[in-house]
Amino acid sequence: MTSPQHRSLLLTLHAVRLHGFADTNSIVERFGQDPADVERSLIAAGAKGWALRSSFAGTRGWSLTVAGRAENEGLLAAELNSVRGYSAVSRAHSDFLSLNTNVVAACSRIQLQWLSDGHPPTDGIDEETRRTFIQALTSLRDLEVRLTAVLPRFSGYANRLEMAVANAATDPAWLTATDRDSFHRVWFELHEDLIATLGIQR
């Protein structure tokens, strides 16, 4: 049986990977862990050379080293093996990729338009683009149910995407902005979560 310390280390390293660079509070919040447990895991990871604390854009935070990414992937592989979940997650990843093409294309169109105009749209987004995100969200809900049946830590993505779509009704930046939990940012994070869990490359 996995010890609480082992589980905390897995979730802490994985939270850092999904964020890329994050302060301690963000790491705690990602999987709703106890702050003291996360602090201990980060200190242990730093001592083993798995995580590095540094400053970026005026913010102090943590990132994984190459060794840390390898350790994270090893812990994830053991977790997946313990629940015999590789086939289920692999199928979910395959279905995700079929949705990913349209989402990435829609995000690229929006970003190119913003570059052309020099600012986000002031009159919302067109119906075709809105429909693309709504359909992706609808399909993603089913994927999340399948994933959480195997690994409960996959919960929450659909709700975050739904919030991004709701906010985009009055502020289209919620679809692709990098300074908030936008649709594109959450979608990219889920993609990273899937490939890290399966131990594959994009």
pTM: 0.92
Strands 51-56 and 59-64: antiparallel
- In this structure, the answer to whether residues 169 and 142 fall within a common structural domain is yes
- In this structure, the answer to whether residues 96 and 8 fall within a common structural domain is no
- In this structure, the answer to whether residues 135 and 67 fall within a common structural domain is no
Q: What pLDDT does residue 118 have?
A: 67
| Per-residue pLDDT tens digits for 161-183 | 999 999 988 888 899 988 999 99
Q: Show the domain range for 125.
A: 86-198
Q: Which residue has the higher pLDDT, 104 or 57?
A: 104
Average pLDDT of span 137-166 = 96
> Which residue, 23, 47, 82, sits at the end of a domain?
82
C-alpha dist (Å) from residue 36 to 5, 6, 9, 22, 192? 11, 14, 12, 17, 26
| Domain containing residue 46: CATH number | 1.10.10.10
- In this structure, the answer to whether residues 34 and 57 fall within a common structural domain is yes
C-alpha dist (Å) from residue 200 to 10, 84, 93, 157, 190? 18, 17, 11, 20, 14
Q: Which residue has the higher pLDDT, 107 or 65?
A: 65
> Which residue, 82, 106, 127, sits at the end of a domain?
82
- In this structure, the answer to whether residues 64 and 137 fall within a common structural domain is no
| Per-residue pLDDT tens digits for 73-92 | 999 999 999 999 999 999 99
Token code pair at residue 53? 């604390």
- In this structure, the answer to whether residues 49 and 92 fall within a common structural domain is no
> Which residue, 82, 97, 121, sits at the end of a domain?
82
- In this structure, the answer to whether residues 75 and 92 fall within a common structural domain is no
- In this structure, the answer to whether residues 54 and 92 fall within a common structural domain is no
Residue 140 burial (C-beta neighbours within 10 Å; 0-12, 13-18, 19+): buried
